[in-house]
Amino acid sequence: MLLIHGSYEISIVLQVNKPAADFKRGHVGILDLLRGIAAISVVFYHFTYLNLLSDFRSPLLNKVFEHGNLGVEMFFVISGFVIPYSLYGTGYRIADFGRYMVKRVVRICPPAYASVLLQLVKWKAIDILYPAHQSPLVSITLGQIIRNLTFTYGFGDSKQINVVFWTLSVEFIFYVFIGIFYNELFSKKNILLFLLIFFLPSFIGLLQLTSDHSFFAYSSLFALGGVTLLFYRGSIKLVVYLLLLGVFFAISIGTIGFLASMVGVGTALTIAFVKGSNKVFAFLGKISFSLYLTHNLLGSIANFLLAKFLHVNTEIEAIAVVMLCALLACLFAYLFALLIENPFLRLARRMKV
């Protein structure tokens, strides 16, 4: 089925995928759209429901984006698909683990560290310009900075300089997990082994032996992405795919709840069966990581500056200001991606695993 309207084109594909032997890696266009939706959902969640734009509250937008944080769950499913997908056909072995991790570090860390630096600069500016309003900079410790730069939360005082960094901590543990178990999960075509390997961290999450924001709590979402990759490249049949989705959906309900699990399954099914593009969301997808890293910084600055000149009296005015702030966040993210993220993205792509 093909749906076309204006700047977007969506097709729902129900045919059986090619066998694994005939599968060739290429760009998966629907991922840009999904990343864009996930990123902008998180942005509006922080701007409205978490009251980052406290001077421009919109009850309507608060309600609409009450669950915008579920964009994070979408990102985890996407990573569960993309990270092993990036290794497919490379001849990856455990001996390549070091090069693989260096590539992930080059891709993720420089933009993340730049966002930390910008946040520290903002706090320092607050301390200089408004000494009566001390920023968190006065109480931050060297240990906290190190834990932020290494994404090792949960050890001592784990204050986050950038509030979204907990998700990068989860992601990096998944990178290690895939680096160790990639061949067992995706090369041996043993579904029981796949189930066992992913079930172990999920079981730890079910027992609630770790933080609610740990890799173990969200491992079933990464599994949904991994199962989708097996189906996408033709390694398993549709019936097996749906059964495996059901298994990890049931597990994830026990760790992250029903609604988040539904979003995870919906994201997986979209990757598996939908081919589409949308110019707006494709653009947001391209800048999604930069937008994710910087929107809180930009939002807080925009709220502070705009509140000096604008005073809203109606819902429409509040919505207009929120939309303006979202547009400014996207513009800043575009520049951040252009100047900081993309050079390291190109460098990472040139690195061989």
Residue 130's pLDDT is 83
pLDDT given at position 5: 47
Rg of the chain over Cα atoms, rounded to whole angstroms, equals 21
Mean pLDDT of 160-175: 91
Average pLDDT over residues 254-278: 94
pLDDT tens-place string over residues 301-310: 999 999 998 8
Give the model's pLDDT for residue 348: 95
| pLDDT of 149 | 87
Q: Whole-angstrom Cα distance, residue 155 to residue 270?
A: 37
Could you tell me the pLDDT band of residue 156, with boundaries at 50, 70 and 90? very low
pLDDT tens digits for range 309-342: 888 999 999 999 999 999 999 999 999 999 999 9
Q: Does pLDDT of 69 surpass 80? A: yes
Say if residues 339 and 118 touch (Cβ distance below 8 Å).
no
CA distance 72 to 286: 16
| pLDDT for residue 24 | 62
pLDDT at residue number 206? 87
Q: Nearest 10 degrees: CA dihedral of 129, 131, 134, 140?
A: 80
Decide if pLDDT at 94 tops 90: yes
pLDDT at position 36, please?
Answer: 93
pLDDT of 145 reads: 84
Q: Which residues 6+ apart lie within 8 Å of 127 measured at CB?
A: 134, 135, 137, 138
Express each pLDDT in 15-56 by its tens digit: 445 555 455 667 888 999 999 999 999 999 999 999 899 999
Query: In 3D, which of 137, 139, 167, 134 has the Cα closest to residue 153?
Result: 167
Q: Give the whole-angstrom CA distance, residue 222 versus residue 174.
A: 8
pTM for the model stands at 0.91
Q: Which residues are 12's β-sheet partners?
A: 274
Q: Is the pLDDT of residue 211 over 80?
A: no
Q: What is the mean pLDDT of residues 131-149?
A: 81
Res 4: pLDDT: 43
pLDDT tens digits, residue range 81-92?
Answer: 999 999 998 899
Mean pLDDT, the chain, as a whole number? 89
Name the percent of the chain lying above pLDDT 70: 91
112/169 Cα distance (integer angstroms)? 11
**Does pLDDT of 12 surpass 70?**
no
Does position 13 have pLDDT exceeding 50, yes or no?
A: yes
Q: What is the pLDDT of residue 15?
A: 45
